[in-house]
A = this chain, B = another copy of it.
Amino acid sequence: MLQTTRLQPGAGLDPFFNARAIAIIGASDDPTKIGGRPLHLLKKHGFAGALFPVNPKGGSIQSLPAYTSVRDVPQVPELAIIAVPAAMAPAALSDCADKGVLAAIVLSSGFIEAGEEGAALQRQLSQIARERQIRVLGPNCLGAVGIEERVIGTFSVALEEKLPAAGHVGIVSQSGNLGSFTMQSVVRRGMGISRFMATGNEADVDIADGIAALARDSQTRIILCCMETCRDGSKLLQALEAARAAGKVVVVLKIGATEQGQAAAASHTGALTGSNAVIEAALTRAGALTVQSIEDMVELTAALSVVPQALLPRNRGVTLVAASGGFGVMMADAMVQAGLDLPELSDATRARIQEAVPVAGTRNPVDATAQMSSRPDILYKLLTALLEDASRSTLVLLLSLSLHNPRLSGVYQEALAQIRRDYPDRLIVLIGQGPADVTERIANAGIAIFPTIDAAARGLAGMVRLGQTLGQPPTVPAAAQNWEPLDAQVFRNEFHAKAFLARAGVPVTQEQVVQSADAAVAAAEQIGFPVVFKIVSPDIAHKTEVGGVELNIRSAAQARTAHAQLLARVAERAPQAQIDGVLVAPMVGGGVEMITGISHDAAFGPVVMVGMGGIYAEVLKDVAVQVAPVTQAEALQMIASLKLYPLLQGVRGQPAADVQAMAATVARLSELALAYAGEIAEIDLNPVLVQPAGEGVIAVDALMVAARPQA
């Protein structure tokens, strides 16, 4: 069940980053303890505001006067850091609310992750947060940090030595460890941090709040997010929309991509979560970049932090250059595997390459030999030829370790500086490693440098996707319309389901239900032979298993026999079943088998699915999902993402299938899903026969399942 969103995502989170007075509840004199470390770090790293240690013993803690209760603190702290045992946390939080504290970080563990008793304590925290209007981060979390303001609400050992430099990378993570490691990795890569937030058990503030808060934060330009689970899909999408509207990139490391990983995440977070496929699809549509590893996340962030958004490419073409054919081959492999293309260079371009480097291999990837780095003017001539090629591809230049060689480094730097001046509107990507001062100088000129070929390929693919997404407006849901009230009988059997779907604009076979052999013959003659008979019963889910289907009936005589035999078989094999009649339907053949349907995701609500039909597709799990509604264009993208999509484009001389009609059906179903969200749990159309282009689609079988009434 979706949580009620009482606030805009991210509202009231500022104190976690910029509080000027902080109470530490459960403060300790020992700077290695969880109650001692935040105070120690705040003091050590020069927090300029007021600090109020609170401990029932009173006295002095880490050289500051301690208070026995937060109530006694002489001013109202904006932020409280709570490090008392779990059982005492609700009372401490309640005291904070009484005092007027705006936000509290509960660092303590022992809540939902520790069993039912802890879960009850966590529910108390949630309730206090909601009722008393105090924002709560955690419990069982690594807290929050505002770097510029020196607000350090964490016990992370990562800050023991020194605080990261202030910068524009904000980090939100459910796992404290992952978030902390991400922060350290970003710092080691030479970038600065704006804010850090680890949401832990998410009794109140969740990852969507964190993203939304950073979307509004003026210090943050790039938002990194480590996500294990999503509890509230629509809130997450709102937060991502806020980031997009603010022109900020969100890079998401979504962990739990495999079944084993998902199982581990579920047992670890104790959350009822949406499916990974739905989360991935929703994130992608919302414009977030998803990555598979922290290393990829960090390299992509490094690139995005130096490359202006206006330079992000909108086409997938890359022109690859190396001093060696072998490296060219490796780059080609990696780029193609990352989904990028290698367009052919024009004859004019190839002539210009040869003019610059006579011994060069002039196809893409360009083998420019060691000669390319013999003089800056030669390199400049070569690179400008590539940049001016009609394909307008992104230029990727492999340097390997050349920047470590002073002579080569000089040549590269001089040529690249001139290229940057003369082609300010083009993305340039380098692959290589070198002394930090040199790579920094190049990066600061707006040139992306990746350390390895693989990192470059995956990073560039992400930058292209971002370039394509940034131009796109967010999806506008279909206009509201008057939907008919739902009659419960649509869930009773296939006939009523199809009748409802037909009225709703979903193409299904036209059928009749009959109660006698005579009526069956009449219906068959009206529909036209050949026809199919199917048993109609609310008690029979799998018709073929009880002999409840007769195919390819070609005459009135056959119809009579088939009708009698069908009823006899069903009476024998399913004697208890209530029989609503016999369905007479046209025998539809041809076309490509697909499946589509809607269901309900625990985090995102109504979702729509489309896939190839048949046993092969089932083995391959060849389906695409998306949160409802989807436009026809989005449905088309879903269809095009299927592994077996080439089947729809026509193979072995088959005509191309009517994917537009299929996409329209998927889009229509997704609107239905939204309109009847509380009433329909599931619709399955299987199979849908997709006819040749222009001839439409038709659903041959349909099943509708009612939503369980909400408790």
Taking a contact as CB atoms under 8 Å apart, the answer to whether A255 and B329 are in contact is: yes
Bound Cα distance from A453 to B182, whole angstroms: 13
Q: Indicate whether A454 sits within 8 Å of B328 (C-beta atoms), given known contacts A184-B401, A264-B363, A400-B181.
A: no
Q: Does A557 contact B (CB under 8 A)?
A: no
A75 at the binding interface (Cβ < 8 Å):
no
Docked-complex contact A644 and B620, CB < 8 angstroms: yes
B178, B293, B336, B400: the one within 8 Å of A452 (CB): B293
Chain B residue nearest in CB terms to A328? B264
* A332 close to chain B: CB less than 8 A: yes
Within 8 A of B (CB), among A60-92: none
Is A333 interfacial (CB 8 A cutoff)? yes
- Let me know if A127 is at the binding interface, CB within 8 A: no
For the residues of A in contact with B, the DSSP-based class is helix
How far, in whole Å, are A365 and B646 apart by their CA atoms in the complex? 39
* Interface: A614 (CB within 8 A): yes
Tell me, yes or no, whether A157 is within 8 Å of chain B by CB. yes
A696: Cβ under 8 A from any B Cβ: no
B-chain residues with CB within 8 Å of residue A332 when the two chains form the complex: 258, 260-261, 263-264
Residues of chain A from 520 to 538 with CB closer than 8 A to chain B in the complex: none
A258 to B294, alpha carbons, bound, how many Å?
Answer: 26
Q: How far is the CA of A644 from the CA of B361 in the complex (A)?
A: 40
Residues from chain B with a CB closer than 8 A to the CB of A255 are 326, 329-330, 333
- Which residue on B lies nearest to A265, using beta carbons? B329
In the complex, what residue of chain B is closest to A267 when comparing beta carbons?
B363
A-side interface size class:
35 or more
Across the interface, which residues of B come within 8 angstroms of A480, CB to CB?
none
Is A7 at the interface (CB under 8 A from chain B)?
Answer: no
Contact A325 B175 (CB under 8 A): yes
| CB atoms of A178 and B327 under 8 A apart | yes
Q: Is the CB of B652 within 8 A of A228?
A: no
Contact of A651 with B by CB under 8 A: yes
**A479 at interface, CB cutoff 8 A:** no
**Chain B residues, Cβ within 8 Å of A504:** none
Contacts of A568 in B (CB 8 A): none
**A 159-175 to B, binary, CB cutoff 8 A, 1 in contact else 0:** 01000000000000111
A324 within 8 A of B: yes
Contact B268 A226 (CB under 8 A): no
Residues of B within 8 A of A326 (CB): 173-175, 177-178, 226, 228, 255, 268
How long is the Cα–Cα vector from A556 to B114 in the complex, in angstroms?
A: 78
Cβ of A342 within 8 Å of any chain B Cβ, yes or no, is yes
Most buried by B among A178, A226, A323, A359: A178
- The residue on B at minimum CB distance from A262 is B329
Distance in angstroms from A326 CB to nearest chain B CB is 3
Q: Which B residues touch A109, using CB under 8 A?
A: 359
CA distance A618 to B184 in the complex (A): 47
Is A306 an interface residue, CB under 8 A from the partner? no
A390 to chain B, nearest CB (A): 19
Q: Which of A548-593 contact B (CB under 8 A)?
A: none
Distance to closest chain B CB from A27 (angstroms): 20
- Mask, A248-280, CB within 8 Å of B = 1, is 000000011111110111011100000000000
Min CB gap A251→B, angstroms? 15
Q: Chain B residues near A157 (CB, 8 Å)?
A: 405, 408
Question: How many Å from the CB of A270 to the closest CB on chain B?
Answer: 10
CA–CA, A323 to B109, complex, Å?
14
CA distance A605 to B489 in the complex (A): 66
Task: Using known A-B contacts A332-B261, A333-B257, A405-B160, determine if residue A323 contacts B177 with beta carbons closer than 8 Å.
Answer: yes
Which 10 pairs, one residue from A and one from B, show the smallest C-beta to C-beta distance?
A175-B326, A177-B324, A268-B325, A261-B333, A616-B616, A178-B326, A258-B336, A261-B332, A255-B329, A260-B332
Residues of A within 8 A of B (CB): 109, 114, 157-158, 160, 173-178, 181, 184, 226, 228, 255-261, 263-265, 267-269, 292-295, 322-330, 332-334, 336-337, 342, 359, 361, 363, 365, 367, 400-401, 405, 408, 452-454, 614-620, 643-644, 646-647, 651-652
Can you list 15 A-B pairs with a CB-CB distance of less than 8 A?
Answer: A114-B359, A157-B408, A175-B326, A177-B322, A178-B324, A228-B329, A260-B333, A261-B336, A264-B328, A264-B365, A265-B329, A267-B361, A615-B652, A616-B644, A616-B647
